[in-house]
Chain A
């Protein structure tokens, strides 16, 4: 039969097609290249805004994160690790929920409630209990507080399919107001609670942040094992892929949703405890400081893999501290670092396209079989 199809005038130059899974090294190659490009962009923007040279900008970033590390000053390094620990533990807390396709945007509120439980224990029970008992009480109450804050939206999601994104979001603001209320009565109207002495985590080898970092390291490993090798982790993955499949193979979807959010909320509560008992020894409405949202991005960029999340949080915290230093030196507002973090994350989100899709340009005549 003769060729019927004539070439239409509007045939596009290229079309986009889904591609088969790339080998892992190619996929990561694309991501690493994107990170490098975005760092170049960040450097360029620093140059444009501050007028420093390219090298100076990165030197400044380095000094903002590591300080004078090689002169034997490790304070900055510990602070860096501490910041990573907090952001990472929030991201880890969110991961089981996300893997289940439950958009927990409430890490902020869950962590605040955990922190609130800690500070109440520290203030009210600080002189009544012995130190080890006090620490145990702090841990248990923070975990319960975070879990309660996380499970409320989950119950409604499980039974009525209530939109969890907005529910958890609203719970953040309720938590914020509760904190504001508590800080007001305890701070005597000054909006500040003075650092509490009782119930602080012990400093190990002269370092206050050591306990926090160890706790988060343990959670990282446990979360990896939980998601990858446990039966519950498998159930989470199935529910996330398809609730119908889950029901078909006999998974109780409601139970999984509620159980997973208890875990997610409880881990956020732990983060609150780390913030209050391990870092600030006080609380205010900005204690978590929007990291609950950054953690969502970290969890997603980490592909639900705790160890990749470590790398991602390390990069983002590096940018946050480093660019803040660059901005500070140039007498600019430190929000500059938020812009940079936003740009890098957007680029990383965008680069996924090149991993999952391929652009096929129009082939020349005769090549088509």
Chain B
């Protein structure tokens, strides 16, 4: 029971981890990307479209499908979709100096619209009776586990029972943490986020860093959407099922104090909080609705505490949300 709870929490946390790692990288370049929720939708639906096309091309026969292609095609589609959205955001905020909050919110509107529209269109095409589209075959390839995981009892279930995207999320977060803190590229990126004018004077190509950070961040966030559909939801896409996870990912950034390694623990904690209502005994449905508030309340408490303590290393990048124009003093 407890092990099952933890496993569920991890699975629920992974999309948040992808989203918040992506957002942390973006914010380190000084850009508050409120488009992440929309980008995660696009990442998810692009993967769904890719795998749908591949499944159809294989005549919907499991035997015809090449495991490698079945994973790679959705993965690449997802990356492509979310990077495209990231590029739109970049073009508007970096090149055209548009307001970041407004652009981000518009990207979210666009992304959620795209997700629901393409999802509904696919549901139309398949003439499915349920308002959802099932890609269980592709999902089965995504969820391949290590062959000996089942033999290891609780240890296997707790640590080895996940799909590869879960491990990838943790690896990406650790790598991001390393790159940000220990390498020159990371130092430059942080410099851009703290004070782009100084970074520019030091010879760092500010525009390139901003573009790259936001695009990489979007790509990572998009993978979160893909993981949700392919692993957590067993390849079933239904409109709006992804819900507000994107916003929680953004909140998690503050919870993690802009540290990807902290985001790992934070996302699993959030996953547990989201899921707690299903595991506490004797709750009526109406009380469960109240329990679903938990992650949001925790986020608010963390927001308040971090703002009250005002520790220097726990602050957002200094020029977060401001657009940089070289000729401005």
Instruction: Give A residues with C-beta under 8 Å from B.
Output: 16-18, 103, 156, 160-163, 165-167, 169-171, 173-174, 177-178, 180-181, 184-185, 189, 290, 293-294, 296-297, 300-301, 331-333, 335-343, 345-346, 349-350, 352-353, 356-357
B150 located at the interface, meaning its Cβ lies under 8 Å from any Cβ of chain A in the complex = no
Q: Which residue of B lies closest to A156 (CB)?
A: B304
Instruction: Tell which of A185, A336, A346 touches B106, judged by Cβ atoms closer than 8 Å.
Output: A346
Contacts of A341 in B (CB 8 A): 109, 113
CA distance A58 to B61 in the complex (A): 43
Query: In the complex, which of the residues A161, A171, A297, A346 contacts B88, with contact meaning CB atoms closer than 8 Å?
Result: A346
B276 on interface, CB distance cutoff 8 Å: no
A333 touches B110 (CB 8 A): no
B227 within 8 A of A: no
Interface string of B59-89 (1 = CB under 8 A from A): 0000000000000000000000000000010
Q: How far is the CB of A10 from chain B (nearest CB, A)?
A: 12
Expressed in whole angstroms, the Cα–Cα distance for A174 and B303 within the complex equals: 15
Query: Shortest beta-carbon distance, A328 to chain B, in Å?
Result: 12
- Answer whether A345 and B106 are a contact pair too, CB < 8 Å, given A166-B254, A173-B244, A181-B286: yes
**Out of B96, B286, B325, which one reaches A184, CB within 8 Å?**
B286
Pick from B92, B112, B254, B289: contact of A349, CB under 8 Å:
B92
Cross-chain contact A349 with B102 (CB below 8 angstroms): yes
Tell me the smallest distance from the CB of A156 to a CB of chain B, in Å.
6
Across the interface, which residues of B come within 8 angstroms of A294, CB to CB? Answer: 109
Docked Cα-Cα span, A345 to B102, in Å, equals: 9
* B199 within 8 Å of A (CB atoms): no
Q: How far is the CB of A166 from chain B (nearest CB, A)?
A: 5
Contacts of B151 in A (CB 8 A): none
Nearest residue in A to B108 (C-beta to C-beta)? Answer: A293
Provide the bound-state CA to CA distance between A294 and B110, in Å: 11
Question: Are B307 and A335 in contact, with the CB atoms below 8 A?
Answer: no
Provide the main secondary structure of the chain B interface.
Answer: helix
Expressed in whole angstroms, the Cα–Cα distance for A249 and B182 within the complex equals 46
Q: Does the CB pair B251–A342 fall under 8 Å?
A: no
Minimum CB–CB distance from A172 to chain B (whole Å) comes to 8
Which of chain A's residues has its CB closest to B110's CB? A342
Known interface pairs A169-B247, A177-B293, A332-B117; A353-B107 also in contact (CB < 8 Å)? no
A163 touches B121 (CB 8 A): no
**Bound Cα distance A332, B122 (Å):** 10
* Chain B, Cβ-Cβ closest to A296: B105
Instruction: Establish whether residues B300 and A167, one from each chain, have CB atoms under 8 Å apart when the complex forms.
Output: yes
A173-B293, A181-B289, A293-B109 in contact; A163/B120 too (CB < 8 A)? no
With known contacts A169-B251, A300-B102, A332–B110 Cβ distance under 8 A:
no
Tell me whether A335 and B109 are in contact in the complex, defined as CB-CB below 8 angstroms, given that A162-B303, A353-B98 are known contacts: no
Q: Quick check: B102 and A338 within 8 Å, CB to CB?
A: no
In the assembled complex, the Cα of A316 lies from the Cα of B16 at a distance in Å of 31
Contact check, A338 vs B113: say whether CB atoms are below 8 A apart.
Answer: yes
A333:B109 contact, CB within 8 angstroms: no
Docked-complex contact A163 and B296, CB < 8 angstroms: no
Contacts of A165 in B (CB 8 A): 32, 34, 101
In the complex, number of A-B residue pairs with CB atoms less than 8 Å apart: 151
Q: Nearest chain-A residue to B111 (Cβ)? A: A342
Taking CB atoms and an 8 Å cut-off, the chain B residues in 23-79 that contact chain A are 32, 34
**A346-B117 Cα distance, complex, nearest whole Å:** 18
25 contacts across the A-B interface (CB closer than 8 A): A16-B327, A17-B327, A18-B325, A165-B34, A169-B250, A174-B296, A177-B296, A178-B290, A184-B289, A189-B285, A300-B99, A301-B102, A333-B121, A335-B112, A335-B116, A335-B117, A340-B113, A342-B106, A342-B109, A342-B110, A342-B113, A345-B106, A345-B109, A352-B98, A356-B97
Is the Cβ of A181 less than 8 Å from the Cβ of B290? yes
Q: Is B202 interfacial (CB 8 A cutoff)?
A: no
Bound complex: CA A357 to CA B328 (Å): 12
Q: Which residues of A contact B299 (CB under 8 A)?
A: 166, 170
- What A residues does B88 contact at CB under 8 A? 346
Residue of A17, A163, A353 with most partner-chain B CB within 10 A? A163
Q: A170-B296, A170-B300, A353-B96 are in contact. Are A333 and B251 (CB under 8 A)?
A: no
Q: Judging by beta carbons under 8 Å apart, are B290 and A338 in contact?
A: no
Cross-interface CB contact of B307 among A156, A293, A342, A346, cutoff 8 Å: A156
B297 within 8 A of A: yes
Residues of the A chain whose Cβ atoms lie less than 8 Å from the Cβ of B92? 346, 349-350
| A336 nearest in chain B by CB position | B117
Residues of A within 8 A of B303 (CB): 156, 162-163, 166-167, 170
B280 at the interface (CB under 8 A from A): no
Give chain A residues whose Cβ lies under 8 Å from the Cβ of B115: 335
Are B99 and A18 neighbours in the complex by a CB distance under 8 Å? no
A293 touches B105 (CB 8 A): yes
Contact with A along B316-327 (1 / 0, CB 8 A): 100000000101
Q: What's the minimum C-beta distance from A337 to chain B, rounded to whole angstroms?
A: 8
Query: Who on chain B is nearest to A301 by CB?
Result: B102
Interface residues of B in 200-250 (CB under 8 A from A): 239, 244, 247, 250
**Is the pair B251, A170 in contact by a Cβ cutoff of 8 Å?**
yes
Which residues of the other chain, B, contact A336 by a CB distance below 8 angstroms?
113, 117
Closest to A183 in B: B289
Are B106 and A297 touching (Cβ within 8 A)? yes
Give A178 Cβ to nearest chain B Cβ, in Å.
8
